[in-house]
Structure 1
Amino acid sequence: MKIENSVAVITGGASGLGLATVEKFVAMGAKVSIFDFNDIAGAAVVERLGDNVMFVKVNVADEESVKAAIAATIARFKMINICINYAGIGGAGKTVGKNGALPLSDFNKILQVNLVGTFNVLSNAAEQMVKNELVNGERGVIINTASVAAYEGQIGQAAYSASKGG
């Protein structure tokens, strides 16, 4: 797939790997919709990179938040060709720590963002991609990032490792 003239949704695009991808895609001629929770950083990216970038404050774990962000992207850029999922959170928590078992709510929060949130965004983006005309046998591309933590967990990262192993 060619990056030039494509429309990409990039979660976690206001910082880190997501931001680096946003910058590269814009430099290559793509339009980018940043889905991120950090509205201050997101607004700064849009101001710096210009009209080919939009920012939508999104909780990837919330279905309505994602659906609204997808709709805003379609309204502005008319299609989605690429979806790249970087959004994720961490949190220290041993399976059993000084205060007892890791609260299930802490474990679930990380899984909801890192695992369920990834599926939430990719499935809603794919719903739009299937409407695209075939170009060289493709309607779109979805890339999900993971972590070596899926295979080599670290002490105190039970939920994060589980979320990356999916």
Structure 2
Amino acid sequence: MKFENNTFIVTGGASGLGEASVRALHKAGANVVIADLNVEAGEALAAELGGRTVFARTNVADVADATACVVTATARFGGLQGLINCAGIGNAARVLGREGAMPLEAFSRVIEVNLVGSFNMIRLAAEAMAAGEPQADGERGVIVNTASVAAYEGQVGQAAYAASKGGIVSMTLPIARELARSGIRVVTIAPGLFLTPMMHTLPPEVRQSLGESVPFPPRLGQPEEFARLVCSIVDNIMINGETIRLDGAIRLTPR
């Protein structure tokens, strides 16, 4: 799919992997809707990039918010051709901790945002994409989700996070198969250790140690490298129904 004159929603687009994706898509010539809960950062990014971007305050797990975001895209730019799902949260909690069993609401919250929120955006965006005119090779849209290597090698304390990301991996192929008839591709990226806002909260020596645990290159991934893969997926129509690890060959240890 080409970038020029096509419109993409990027959830979690005000920071981290999402922000890098917004910038890369905009640079390539696309219209971009920045969907995020951080109003200050989202509006600032939209103002910086200019007329082909707009901010939409969006809780991805909320039906009304997600619907309004898609309406913003179609009303402002005349259609929707892409969705990049980067919104997500994480927590670190053992199933059996020092204070007893993990609260069920802590598990449910991560599933709601990461998995249900991603699906909520997918179903609504796909509906809008399917209503559009087919482009080259009959393509109407492309959806890129964000999972994690934790979907495969979740560490102790990552039960909720790993389950949410594993769900994203598992639904990629069946949704891709279903939406194929509408000319909509579905692909997932499973990043390893990346320099996201959460990583910035760690001491420099901890970040360095984590980076050195990556076989090659022995460093944390840069958000721009994630965004480059997003653009490659958008550009290459044969990439469909697949989860791509972007991790420098790392395999997470139990702890």
Q: If you compute each CA radius of gyration, which structure gives the higher value, 1 or 2?
A: 2
**Aligned equivalent of 1:99:** 99
| Structure 2 SS opposite 1:151 | helix
SS at match of 2:125: helix
Q: Which residue of 2 aligns with 1:10?
A: 10
TM-superposed CA distance for 1:3, in Å, is 1.3
- 1:63-142 mapped onto 2 (5 Å cutoff): 63-135=63-135, 136-142=137-143
Report 1 or 2 for greater relative contact order, CA contacts < 8 Å, sequence distance ≥ 6: 1
Q: Note the C-alpha offset of 1:134.
A: 1.1
Task: Encode CA deviations 1:77-125: one digit per residue, 9 max, x unaligned.
Answer: 1110011101000011111101111111110000000000000001100
Could you tell me which residue of structure 2 aligns to residue 144 of structure 1? 145
Aligned twin of 1:23: 23
Amino acid at match of 2:154: G
Report the alpha carbon displacement of residue 62 of structure 1 after superposing the two structures with TM: 0.7
2:43 and 2:96 map into 1 onto residues whose CA distance is 40
Note the alpha carbon deviations across 1:38-84, whole angstroms, 9 max, x for none: 11110110111011111111110111110111112211111100111
- Paired residues, number: 166
69-78 or 51-60: bigger deviation = 69-78
The 2-side partners of 1:4 and 1:106 are apart by 41
Alignment of 1:35-74 (within 5 A): 35-74=35-74
Cα RMSD, aligned residues only: 0.8
- Residue 165, structure 1, aligned to residue 166, structure 2: yes
Report the Cα distance in structure 1 between the residues aligned to 2:155 and 2:51, rounded to whole angstroms.
41
- Structure 2: state its 5+ residue gaps: 168-255
Q: Give the TM-score taking structure 2 as reference length.
A: 0.64
- 1: distance between equivalents of 2:155 and 2:19? 26
Q: Per-residue CA shift, 1:122-159, capped at 9, x if unaligned?
A: 11000000111111211111111110000111221111
